[in-house]
Amino acid sequence: MLEKNQIYQVKIIDDGYQGEGIAKIDNFPIFIQGAIKGEEVKIKILKVQSSFAYGKIIEIIKQAKNRVESECKVYNKCGGCNLRHIDYEYTLKIKKAIVQNCLYKALNKNIEVKDVIGMKKPMFYRNKLQYPIGLNKNKQAVMGVYSNRTHNIVPVSKCYIQNKICNEIANDIFEFINKNNISVYDEVTLKGTVRHIVIRIGVKTNEILVTIVVNDNNLKKDKELVEYITKKYPNIKTIVKNYNTKNTNVILGDRNEIIYGSGYIYDILGEYKFKISPLSFYQVNPIQTEILYNTAIKSIEKNSLADKQIDIALDLYCGIGTIGIFASKYFKKVYGIEKVKQAIDDAKENAKINNVENIEFHVGDVEEILPQILKNINKTPNVVFVDPPRKGLDNKTIDVLKKIQPEKIIYISCNPATLARDLKELEEKYLIKEIQPVDMFPYTSHVECVVAMILKEHL
C-alpha cells in the first residue's frame, strides 16, 4: 500500500489531461505533475486517495525527447500553461487524445478525430489579459496570476501567452497603483478598491480597452492614471471602471463606468469588423478564431457553399454575433441568441457596420428564447450552430434540437467532456461527420473542437 512521503522510481506510461504523467505501482495509478510519457522519474508520494495517488518529481532519471525547457519564470507556480514543459507539436497530440478519450468514454466506440490545428507561433497569442490585484502575506500589493488551484497571487511581469503591449500596460498601471498608494482589494477582509486589471486588444486594429475592476467607489487619482497611461499608450481607445462588489470568483461585475473614450473597441476577423464591449465575450486567440469559424462554416456543406444559399441558420450562444455574421452570406436568414445584453447590443451594431441585413439577434437564455423563435419563424432551420460555455448544452435545448431536427448541427465546444456528453444524446438522431480540434489555447490543457453532425434521416 502506498503511503505519503514514500520515494519510488517509476516509468511514466501515459500522459494525463493537465500536464501530468501517469505511472502505476502494482496497478495503482499515480499522477505526477510535469512528467511525460516515456520518462523514468524518481518521485515522492504527496497524497494517497482510494483509487489513485499524487506524486511529485524529485529527479528525472530518463528524459523524454519531447521535454523542453520552459522560458517562463513562474511556470511551476502558475495555473495557466500546464503543458509548457512539452514540445508544442506533442501537446497537440495530447490534446487530440483528450478529445478521443472523452468521446470513447461517452459513446463507447472509437470516433475519428482529426489532427489538432495548431499555431505556427504559439506565443503571445492572447488578446485579453486579466490579472488579479491583491495583497500578499506581508500585506503588500501584488499583481499576477493565481497559483494553481488557489487564490494566492503569483507576481508576473511577463506572460508568454499574453499580448506584449497588454503586458506592458498592466505593469505600468500596477506601478502607478503602487507609487500612488492606491488601495487594492483584500480577499480576506473584502475591503480595498482595485481587484483586477483586464486589458483587451484588437490585434488587427491595435485598439486597446482597459477595464479596471473595483470593489468600491474610492479609486484615487483615476484622472491622473488616465492621463498618464493614455499619453504613454495612445492606442488605448477607452478605459472603463467596472464595479464588482461581490465576494465571487467571477471577474467582472454588471456595472461599467466609462472614464475615458467610448467604452468599446473594434477588431477585424476575416472580412468583418466587430465591436467589443467590456462585458461581451470575444474569443481570446484571434488568429485561431478565424480558422475555427472557417472550419465551422465549411462544415455547412462542403460542395455547395459557393453557389447555393440555404434557408435558415441559428447561431445559439452567439456572443457579439461573430459566427452568425461569418455565416450570413450562405443563408437567407440567420437568428442569433445570447444572454448578455451588452453582447447583443454589440452584435446588432456589428450587423450594421458590416452591412449584414439578413440577421436578427435576440437577448435571453437559449433555453427560453429558442422555442419562441421557432414558433415565430414556423419553419425548421437548416443549420444550427451551437457554441455554448464550458458546461455545454442544457437538456431542454437538446430536446428541442432533437424534436425540430435541423439537417445539420455544427457544435463548437471548448470542453471535450461536456461535448462528449451532449453528442451521446444527439447521436440518437445525428451522425457525427467530422471532429476538428483547433488549438485556441496553446500550452494550456484546453482544447476547442468543431463537430459537424448530419441528421440521419437526411442521409
Ligand X SMILES: C[S@@+](CC[C@H](N)C(=O)[O-])C[C@H]1O[C@@H](n2cnc3c(N)ncnc32)[C@H](O)[C@@H]1O
**Residue number, 281 or 331, with CB nearest to ligand X:** 281
Nearest residue to 162 via CA among 34, 91, 74, 270: 74
- Cβ atoms of 384 and 410 closer than 8 Å: yes
- Sequence-distant (6+) residues with CB within 8 A of 269 are 204, 286, 289, 290, 293, 322, 326
Among 81, 159, 318, 414, the active-site one is 414
Nearest residue to 351 via CA among 320, 330, 374: 320
Q: How far is the CB of 339 from ligand X (least distance, A)?
A: 4
- Sequence-distant (6+) residues with CB within 8 A of 192 are 135, 183, 184, 185, 186, 215
**Residue number, 160 or 274, with CB nearest to ligand X:** 274
Q: How far is the CB of 146 from ligand X (least distance, A)?
A: 21
Q: Examine the residue annotation and report whether 78 is marked as an active-site residue of this protein.
A: no
Q: How far is the CB of 369 from ligand X (least distance, A)?
A: 8
Q: How far is the CB of 281 from ligand X (least distance, A)?
A: 3
**Residue number, 212 or 414, with CB nearest to ligand X:** 414
Q: How far is the CB of 279 from ligand X (least distance, A)?
A: 9
Q: How far is the CB of 326 from ligand X (least distance, A)?
A: 9
Q: Is the dihedral of CA 94, 96, 98, 104 positive or negative?
A: negative
Sites of contact with ligand X (CB under 6 A): 281-283, 317-319, 322-323, 337-340, 343, 365-367, 387-389, 414
Q: What is the helix (H) or strand (E) element at residue 174, kind and residue range?
A: helix 164-179
3-state helix/strand/coil string of 39-96: CEEEEEEEEECCCCEEEEEEEEEECCCCECCCCCCCCCCECCCCCCCECHHHHHHHHH
Q: Extract the C-alpha cell encoding 391.
A: 458546461
**Residue number, 312 or 323, with CB nearest to ligand X:** 323
Q: Which residue is nearest to ligand X (CB)?
A: 319
**Residue number, 322 or 436, with CB nearest to ligand X:** 322
Q: How far is CA 276 from the centre of its chain?
A: 16
CB count, 10 Å around CB of 415?
Answer: 19
**Residue number, 20 or 387, with CB nearest to ligand X:** 387
Distance CA 108, CA 150 (A): 35
Distance CA 212, CA 240 (A): 6
Which residues are catalytic, by number? 414
